A and B are shown apart, each in its own frame.
Chain A
Amino acid sequence: MKKFQYIIALFALVISMSACQKGNLENNPNVASSNSLVPPSLILNRALYGVYQGGGVVDSRANSVFEGPWDQTMRWNQYTVSNLSYYRGNNSYNWANTATAYDILKYVSKMEAQAATQFGSPNNVYGALGKFLRAYCFIWLTQRVGDIPMTQAGDENNLTPTYDSQHDVYRNSLALLDTANTMFGSLITSSNANTTIDGDIYALTVSQWQKVVNTYRLRVLISLSKRADDNADLNIKSQFATILGNPTKYPVMTSNADNLTFKFNSSYNQYPRTPSEPYNLYENIGNTYLNITTATKDPRTFVIATPAPAQLAGGKTVSDFTAYVGADISKAQSDLNVASNAGTYSFVNYKRYFASLTGPEPYIMVGYPEMCFNIAEAINRGWVTGADAATWYNNGINASLSFYGLADGQILTIGDLAGKTLGTVTVKMGDFLTNPAVVYKGNNNDGLTQILNQKYVAMFENSGIEAFYNFRRTGVPVFAQNGPGINGSGVIPRRWQYPTDEKVYNEANCTSALQKQFGGSDDLNKDMWLIK
């Protein structure tokens, strides 16, 4: 009997040898825990990718919308119009709850903390970029909804941050941008000015980043034009003038080379339109854009659009501006589809935009041409004295033309929607630049409309939804609406509703913000402080 017990004892011994695991089993062994040292460059990389993609897109959040070219936002800018919902989305401005860009804030906090620890001081380029990115993500959201959490936002220990008024969000953001400029100013030396920052996917030099900060600040200031007169504490006009008046302290962009752009590459980040993309027949160029460029004999017409097939069939030539016809986004998609099939509208220029994997152009987020028009607008509005609006207006036009590589006498090949060559046109720059509709009409309303129209044209397929925001603020150019294609009501909304998560999980603060601004209703058609 005894011997059997030995067997059990041996078995028990074998088991006990094989068993217990030691050490911490709770922690995830596959990733770096929150208190690990993580290079700030990796965090910057993520934050900047988020800026290109648009609020919440990288995290696949509900209602997030990609902000790059040829997508939903560009239809809201009325540059393109979809005639088939399945392949090119809808035109309907059927807005509801917005996503947010607070993910950028989260990454910026982590980046700043890691950089401060690893470089021994918060005063470093990541700190400076952090200030810019903070301002960027707050302004991104406040433009969409109105008041938002800012001072208490991004705090892991405060799950119900209070809302700051839109006024305060702008005041604080402008201050952040000023600090960012100051930090860059103190960090830039002649030896590092032309170096790039590790983790910067946009590959700008340090001094170019400083220009981006100030150029972006000009955009923010001009976006406050409706509040320039009744909010003295914001010093909108004087801030604008100060920046423009002191290029040493506040350097701004000086050419397209300074543009904040996203560059495409063939292996990983291809241009949204490639040779394998076969749905060009379901998308047309919007008439909001083509009405401007064809009326002014703008050669950019030939660059971005194909002639409408029905116009060619009717005997017009490819160089006839009237052969380029935009689609009216307010029409029902079924009507657009029938008309497009009948050849009524221009398509996207396949030869330019579908020819390669890297695309014909980088995607501009903040660009020099827009800056020129923003400055021209400020001068036109009388914010800045001693500067010539016409010069900046023309700078903007020329910068945009050079972005497309256009020059007088250049011969452009015109193709159809599938890239089949139809003929050539010769660029007649004079016809455009000396067109009475283009020649600056002075610091008056007509001049302002010209500036705004040219800004709109220059922002074709770039700068997120700036084109829409400019229209919302100024009404120029006139966007097509009041048709069955624009949601049920025919009216383009003025704002987005607050995110569902804010309404449900930060309810008291969100409700109070709605009460203060819109009488309690999260109404898409009401104007926020910014544009009232």
Chain B
Amino acid sequence: MKSKLTRLYTVSLLMISGLLVNVGAFAQTRTVSGKVLGENGVPVSSATVSVKGTRISAVADEYGIYHIKVPAGDATLVFSYVGYNAFEEKVGETNEHNITLHENKMQLNEIVVTALGVKKELKRVGYSTQEVKGSELTKAREPNAINSLTGKVAGLTVGASAEMLGRPQVVLRGSTDLLFVVDGVPVNSDTWNMSADDIESYTVLKGANAAALYGFRGQNGAILVTTKKGSKEKRGFSVEFNSSTMFEKGYTALPKNQTEYGYGNNYKYAYGNDLYDLDGSYRRSNIWGPRFEGQPVKQYDSPIDPTTGQRTGTPWVARGVNNFENFMETGLLSTNNIAVSASGDKYDLRMSYSHTYQKGMAPNTKLNIDNLNINTGYNFSPKLRMEANLNFNAQYTPNIPDVSYGPNSYPYMFKVYGSASWALSDMKDYWKGPTGRPGLVQYYSEYGRENNPYFVANEWLHGHYKTDVYGYLKFTYKVNKDLNISLRSQVTTWNQFRTEKVPPSTNLNGYYSGYYFQKNGPLYNIWYGDYREDKRMLIENNTDLMANYNKNLGKGFNLTAIAGGSLRTFKYNSDWASTYQLTIPGVYNLSNSKNPVKAYTFGSNMQVISGYASVDLAYKNYLNVSATGRVDKLSTLPEGQQTIFYPSLGVSSVISDYTKLPEAISFLKVRGSFADVKGGLTNSTIGSAYNALTTSVGNPQTLNSGLLGYGSELYTSYDGPSYTNQMAYNTTTFYNNTPSITYSNTLANKDLKSFDIKSYEAGLDVKFLKNRLGLDVTYFRTINGPLIYPLPVASSTGYYSHNVNGITSQKDGLEVSLVGTPIRTKDFSWDVMVNWSTYKEKLKDIYQNEKTVTINDHNYHIGDRLDAFYGYKVFRAPDGQPIYNSSGLLLEPKTGTDNKQLLGYANPDYVFGINNRFGYKNFSFSFQFDGRVGGKIYDYVFAQSMNSGNALDLVQGDYGAARLNEWKSTSLSTVDATPAYVGKGVVISSGTPVYENGAITNLDQLKFDKNTKAVTVQNYVQNSLYAKFDEPFLISRSYLKLREVVLGYTFPAEKFHGKFLKGASVSLVGRNLLYFAERKDIDLDQYASGFNISDRSLNSKPGLQSTTARRFGFNVNLSF
């Protein structure tokens, strides 16, 4: 066993050194030749061929062709190559042997990409990385390359956004600020600016240890993307075509609504006699109205008697039971890529064009993405090589949905306040009379809260236009065989333009002053709409000079050293502007504004000058030591604190190479590393110019909270200055557009130092049973801090916080990945990969002698889990029954910070992914389950639809029975309802509760009786359950998803011999096919992030999301 390993190792080491070995020739030999191909028919160049039991070997050329001299008689050839299973073939009479090698993900001599794009043997790496092949992610596709990494890497959680063009939450070891690196250079990425078809591999550097060389941007780890390069095929070129078409239909998670009761309040409803219900009492109504029993009710389309001016009732029936389902359409995701690779004596070239077209499920929403990638190299001489890469990405759409809790979004319109009172089919002509006025007033069933969904779909448009370009030019000069020097300049830049056209008569829900339906005498005042623009531009240049030295020092010592310097210059500019009521309806132009335009600009500049060095010293396999150091001069930090140094150290040793281990263990490597990263006063993302401006003076306002009152703030990738350590005046207006200012609320600190993140990691790689089973375990501890933190101060200072190097958290986690091949026969194979990870983050230290710190309105003590979240809980008797007051409502909790109770933890206990892959001859079948276990989240849509009277729960069980009885007691809305809901629980019959920190401390001294007081269901929900408590709406964050299923067939390679078509494969694919969770109101997938130390967000109470659906389709891959 050991000798085989050693030999494999030796062979590959030789290979890596780039030496061809063809040892000796025996007296009587013959030459055997042939071609070594991979499963996909592509030649395996540099594959090693050796004669078993001898030291004879040869290496295949770039076309996979080998020639080997074989001694006379019986011989067995062993074919091997990094990343493939070794294959043995007996040499009989024939001298030609064409071989197909199968990929093996568990190879020992795996090469990984590390920081700065440096390739290293995995066994020499002292920290945790994990690689995913790009080809695995181009079949059952996501619209976004990064989304596809879900469940594939232990410790990496990707929460694909339910929204079109939404930025996924990419969480690595609990942090969301990750660095994206393409071919060794950091790019500014919204995760949409790369095409999955151009990606050779994704390497996840898990944490600071791996990414220390990238400086502060690598503080939480990085995702390195290696793009595909030019072909080495004999013909000099190859063409790949990949086409994927997927349909989106069948909801994975869908909030369920009742359709028994319609608009109204306390079982009553009547639309006013006014055209727009302005004189009605049930405008902006909830869904607590009468039951649909066909009784006459005055409705939006009931006729008005011309003589009396009174509206006449029409039958009250559930006209729109399936409004939402009928409104939504089948989504489509179509991705096509064509890539041409070529190479010649001196050049290699790859040109690739991808087009993604996505049609949303919501009508009239779509997205186009063009991605052009050119990768080329030219060898001036064997010593001098020039490489250039350019990626051009354009995203454009006239309309994508905007989802938040407000009148702009479908979940709000259909799921929270969607009544079955109206029929969807009636709404298609949204300008129709009598209430509609073409181009001016929409036709709808209510005027106050919502909008006609077709009007929203076709008139209220959110455009997005972005061009995103990154590319580099690089010279590499090979001074000698040990040393090369490279000079590279790279630009990453994007321009984004977003528009919002708000049509006349749009209901903005009264949040934004100025929008109203009003009657002025006989005339209706209709506002004419608005137009908003959001422009953002970023340009960043990274220029590097790097020397790379690699030398075998002899006696088993090997040295690799890198030294370099880089200059990063950064510039960002943004504008946000909006009309303040249009003067001419339908003209969407900023100059068409009735009141002065509201406009904001924000710009920033930054520069980072860096020097870095890395030394790797290896002594055989006993010990590999890797040390890095980096110095940054960072312009965002205060004068005098700008120069920061940070080191890292990694150690690894392959124990199995020098120690005898039980036979079951075929390989054992241990590793450990330490890194210390510093930085500060930068933000990873940025909002609108308005948001950025207010954030920079320490008074963050989103468009939603500060200006518009609806909609969602768009955050784009940034990685630039935050300017939050400065005291400044920001101009604004509060009263009647008169000029005013705000002044910083955070005290600046001239002596503020960079933040400090120390990361420790230890791990082991073990392979068992002749490498059939591989286990990788990593334990990490990250000491986050002291961070730059706006520590609260007593408000009597006039300020709310001061910047300090305070608060430190400690994160401890474990990541396990298991790879196995339970079955491998000639025709059938079964591979399994399991990823599992967990971590906990606790408060380790606060500033100076502080014992508690107020975060998210809770005072955390040292040692507390920072993802613990607090809110209002139902009081319970010792036997667990809820306690009611004498009025039949739940006993009211005390409010205030100290009275909130622990509701749960925002982070999951653990996250896992399980991949299975079966191969039978040319068929393959793979599927992946992944999910998260543990943690709690507030089910916002459930809470809101309970409050609105619209949740299905309100017509079922006790609620349903009481509601029906109450309804019956109203005699068809003619008398007031008799309350019928008696909450199951107790009332205090004697004793007075004593409260301390929000809990009753003398429960044992109280006596309880059964609660017998009835209240109406509406009162119970709206005045008690929803109004006073958080606990009833908490759900488990656990879920399990059947993420992807791929059934593929690869046409046998021999069919294409001598044909134009060189290979073909087809697949049937599915994504998100099954979803299991406690309540399926929301797709929990999106909420990957729990507590996040960098912005202290807790993500325990998210807003509304679009409904997610299953996706299925087919994929065709052709190569020419």
Contacts and interface: CB of A to CB of B under 8 A. Distances in A.
Contacts of B693: 30-31
Given A201-B738, A497-B896, A268 B797 contact: no
A333 B636 contact: no
A59 B800 contact: yes
Interface stretch (B7-15, B66-74, B322-330, B721-729): B721-729
A158 B1018 CA distance: 52
A60 B888 CA distance: 34
B741 to A, nearest CB: 5
Interface stretch (A38-46, A242-250, A379-387, A404-412): A38-46
Name the residue among A14, A31, A95 with the largest chain B CB count within 10 angstroms.
Answer: A31
B384 interface: yes
A26 B510 contact: no
Interface stretch (A275-283, A321-329, A428-436, A448-456): A275-283
B444 to A, nearest CB: 15
Interface string B807-823: 00000000000000000
Name the residue among B510, B741, B747 with the largest chain A CB count within 10 angstroms.
Answer: B741
B699 interface: yes
B661 interface: no
A277 B728 contact: no
Contacts of A102: 795-798
Nearest to A416: B281
B426 interface: no
Nearest to B728: A31
B736 A153 contact: no
A163 to B, nearest CB: 9
Interface residues of A, number: 108
Nearest to B696: A28
A280 B280 CA distance: 11
Given A49-B740, A267-B514, A281-B265, A149 B796 contact: yes
Interface string B260-281: 0000011000001000001111
A510 B794 CA distance: 10
Nearest to A110: B743
B924 interface: no
A25 B635 contact: yes
Given A8-B487, A100-B795, A268 B569 contact: no
B976 interface: yes
Interface in B242-287: 265-266, 272, 278-281, 283-284
Contacts of B475: 7-8, 11
Interface residues of B, number: 121
Given A96-B894, A501-B793, A46 B738 contact: no
A212 B933 CA distance: 62
Contacts of A510: 794
B601 A30 contact: yes
B269 to A, nearest CB: 12
B1024 interface: yes
Contact of B897 (A4, A92, A97, A281): A97
Interface stretch (B106-114, B142-150, B458-466, B603-611): B603-611
B990 to A, nearest CB: 16
A160 B793 CA distance: 8
B745 interface: yes
Contact of A201 (B279, B723, B735, B800): B735
B792 A504 contact: yes
A152 B892 CA distance: 39
B800 A276 contact: no
B518 A333 contact: no
A278 B284 contact: yes
Contact of B859 (A12, A199, A338, A500): A500
Contacts of B283: 278
A229 interface: no
A148 B797 CA distance: 12
A25 B738 contact: no
A276 B799 contact: no
A63 to B, nearest CB: 8
Contact of A109 (B514, B697, B798, B854): B798
Interface stretch (A16-24, A253-261, A391-399, A474-482): A16-24
Interface in B975-1019: 976-977, 979, 993, 995, 1015-1016, 1018-1019
A230 interface: no
A329 to B, nearest CB: 14
Nearest to B1024: A334
B999 to A, nearest CB: 12
B894 A4 contact: no
Contacts, number: 329
B734 interface: yes
A154 B854 contact: no
Contacts of A279: 284
A47 B75 CA distance: 93
Given A45-B738, A96-B899, A501-B795, A28 B728 contact: yes
A279 B638 CA distance: 52
Name the residue among A153, A280, A417 with the largest chain B CB count within 10 angstroms.
Answer: A153
A488 B852 contact: no
Contact of B1019 (A30, A276, A333, A485): A333
Given A11-B487, A19-B569, A97-B896, A59 B735 contact: no
Given A33-B727, A102-B798, A275-B516, A341 B976 contact: yes
Interface string B365-380: 0000000000000001
A96 B857 CA distance: 13
Name the residue among A26, A109, A160, A270 with the largest chain B CB count within 10 angstroms.
Answer: A26
A242 to B, nearest CB: 31
Nearest to A485: B887
Contacts of A106: 743, 798-799
B886 A158 contact: no
A488 B1024 CA distance: 13
A499 B795 contact: yes
B1027 interface: yes
B796 A84 contact: no
Contacts of A154: 796-798
B1019 A36 contact: no
Interface in A332-361: 332-335, 337-338, 341-342, 357
Contacts of B605: 21, 25, 29
Interface string A135-169: 00000000000001100111110111100000000
A95 B894 CA distance: 8
Interface in B753-799: 791-799
Given A7-B380, A11-B487, A19-B541, A419 B1022 contact: no
B739 interface: yes
Contacts of B800: 59, 61, 501
A334 B606 contact: no
B734 A38 contact: no
A191 interface: no
A158 B747 CA distance: 11
B737 interface: yes
A401 interface: no
Interface in A411-426: 417-420
A32 B739 CA distance: 14
Given A20-B607, A21-B569, A334-B888, A31 B730 contact: yes
A274 B729 contact: no
Nearest to A159: B793
The 10 closest A-B pairs by CB, nearest first: A96-B896, A332-B887, A106-B798, A85-B1027, A276-B516, A506-B794, A334-B1019, A28-B723, A25-B635, A278-B283
14 contacts: A31-B730, A46-B743, A84-B1022, A95-B896, A149-B796, A153-B798, A156-B747, A201-B735, A267-B580, A276-B448, A276-B517, A331-B887, A357-B513, A488-B891
Given A25-B635, A46-B734, 19 more contacts: A4-B381, A15-B489, A26-B636, A28-B728, A30-B604, A45-B739, A85-B1023, A85-B1026, A96-B896, A100-B796, A154-B796, A154-B797, A199-B740, A268-B735, A268-B737, A274-B518, A338-B976, A487-B894, A504-B852
